[in-house]
Amino acid sequence: MKKLIIIFSSIAFFLIIFFVFLYFTSTSFLLRNTSLSKTEKENLTEHFNKKEISYLLEEDCTSLILKIDQNKEFEKQNLEKYCTYYKQNKEVTEEVIYLVKHNLTNLPYDENMKAFIEDEHAKPENLKRYLEFKKQDAGTTEEIVTLVNHNYDAFSNKNDTMRRLHLEPYFLLNNIDRYQTYLNNHPETSTSMVVSLVNVGMDGTPYTNIQKANLEDGNLILVNKFHKLRENDVPTLSAVTDQYSTQTISLTKEAKSALTRMIDAANKENLSLKAKVGYYNYATQSYTYQDTVRLHGEAYADQHEPRPGHNEHQTGLAIDFVNSKNNDVNRLKDSEEGKWLMENAHFYGFILRYPEGKEAITGFAYNPYHYRYVGIEEATIMKKENLTLEEYLAFYKSK
Ligand code: ZN
């Protein structure tokens, strides 16, 4: 009997010691004297183990971690890096995730850095340069980001004009020398126009340095005064029924199906929109061009009629539209049909190919009835950003 009592009391003694040990080493014991709220404590115990919590407490880092651990970029394996940076830069919050992720924790934290990190165009690899350039340039955060992204901080001939040039959204570093040359020769031209003109090659002379246009480029094929189709370049064509066109025309299959969808939509709004002209061949354009030269002279012809091989109607992707009640392209502009097209064509993948105000860029007079199929996604970007096909390709397809 005595023996049993001894055994039981020993077991009880060890159990008590064990539970006391468990209590003193538990996370709740670790957190008992902190100023954290109940929810914060729960949050910590839910996401971190004892070792991690004791590290956070030791480093005085819990308040930072509680602010950032719900961020989807938060990575538990970087706990020490977050805390080390926080120790030196008490003001930092969410940005520490970005800094650790991009190995930028050697940079001291301040309000400028916060602003740069938040800028949607900022690149982590340029962060140090933004901060350094900010000391020399009074520009806004957005300007500094653009200028550095465009390498202006490393540019040797800094002046107001060059600064404005580098701030242009469609600035391409590869073209810098040509922008400069163009500006020197045409100091009255706005920097935005200089960027556009040079990007599309209009700092050169039209109908010189002509390159071959390729039908294989599909919906984004470029045919203009610098890009030429050969006489035997003929796309695969599909005939358009007279429900959609005032005369027999043909287009590529994709352009045709976009056309029918668009005209169906216009019909639902009681509009009499139809196509009048689609594909035509090299020989036809040759005749049309020569005829225009004969009637109006070469200078006029070159503003209004492409030379043979330079007319995008030869791609099967271009359409001239009319109000089918009068069938006159020249009366489209002020009609309800013309206005509807201006507003809606991009939803079906069409762009107004020779817009008003862009004559120097396209090389052709404003043409309110000539549209070009490029695809919905591309047409939407061009419409939204007010870009011609030339500008779009130069900026978005040259990188
Ligand atoms: Zn046309």
State the CB neighbour count (10 A cutoff) for residue 185. Answer: 9
Three-state DSSP class for residue 304 = helix
Query: Nearest-CA neighbor of 388 among 201, 121, 164?
Result: 201
At 187-236, the pLDDT tens digits run 999 999 999 999 999 999 999 999 999 999 999 999 999 999 999 999 99
Query: Nearest-CA neighbor of 345 among 368, 325, 315, 316?
Result: 368
Q: Report the separation in Å between the CA atom of 248 and the middle of ligand 1, taken as the mean of its atom positions.
A: 15
Confidence at residue 260, expressed as pLDDT on a 0 to 100 scale? 98
Which two three-digit tokens encode residue 185? Answer: 């020769």
Q: Report the separation in Å between the CA atom of 59 and the middle of ligand 1, taken as the mean of its atom positions.
A: 71
Q: Report the separation in Å between the CA atom of 377 and the middle of ligand 1, taken as the mean of its atom positions.
A: 22
The band of 6, judged by pLDDT with boundaries at 50, 70 and 90, is confident
Distance between CA atoms of residues 105 and 101, nearest Å: 9
- 247-250 contact pairs (CB < 8 A, 24+): 247/276, 249/275, 249/276, 249/277, 249/278, 249/279, 249/319, 250/278, 250/279, 250/316
**What is the dihedral sign for C-alpha 100, 103, 104, 106?**
positive
At 269-284, the pLDDT tens digits run 999 999 999 999 999 9
The band of 23, judged by pLDDT with boundaries at 50, 70 and 90, is low
What's the mean pLDDT in 362-388? 97
Distance between CA atoms of residues 388 and 90, nearest Å: 50
Q: Report the separation in Å between the CA atom of 189 and the middle of ligand 1, taken as the mean of its atom positions.
A: 29
Q: Report the separation in Å between the CA atom of 353 and the middle of ligand 1, taken as the mean of its atom positions.
A: 9
Q: Report the separation in Å between the CA atom of 316 and the middle of ligand 1, taken as the mean of its atom positions.
A: 11
Q: Report the separation in Å between the CA atom of 170 and the middle of ligand 1, taken as the mean of its atom positions.
A: 28
Query: Is 71 in contact with 94 (CB distance < 8 Å)?
Result: yes
Q: Report the separation in Å between the CA atom of 29 and the middle of ligand 1, taken as the mean of its atom positions.
A: 81
Q: Report the separation in Å between the CA atom of 99 and the middle of ligand 1, taken as the mean of its atom positions.
A: 53
Q: Report the separation in Å between the CA atom of 304 and the middle of ligand 1, taken as the mean of its atom positions.
A: 10
Q: Report the separation in Å between the CA atom of 317 and the middle of ligand 1, taken as the mean of its atom positions.
A: 10
The band of 18, judged by pLDDT with boundaries at 50, 70 and 90, is low
- Stretch (H or E) spanning 275: strand 273-277
Distances (CA, A) of 205 to 3, 106, 136: 112, 51, 39
Q: CA dihedral in degrees (59, 65, 66, 72; nearest 10)?
A: -170
What's the mean pLDDT in 304-314? 96
Q: Report the separation in Å between the CA atom of 313 and the middle of ligand 1, taken as the mean of its atom positions.
A: 6
Confidence at residue 398, expressed as pLDDT on a 0 to 100 scale? 76
What's the mean pLDDT in 99-114? 95
pTM confidence score: 0.84
- Return the minimum-mean-pLDDT range out of 47-61, 159-173, 231-245: 47-61
- Return the minimum-mean-pLDDT range out of 56-70, 351-365, 382-396: 56-70
Q: Report the separation in Å between the CA atom of 318 and the middle of ligand 1, taken as the mean of its atom positions.
A: 6
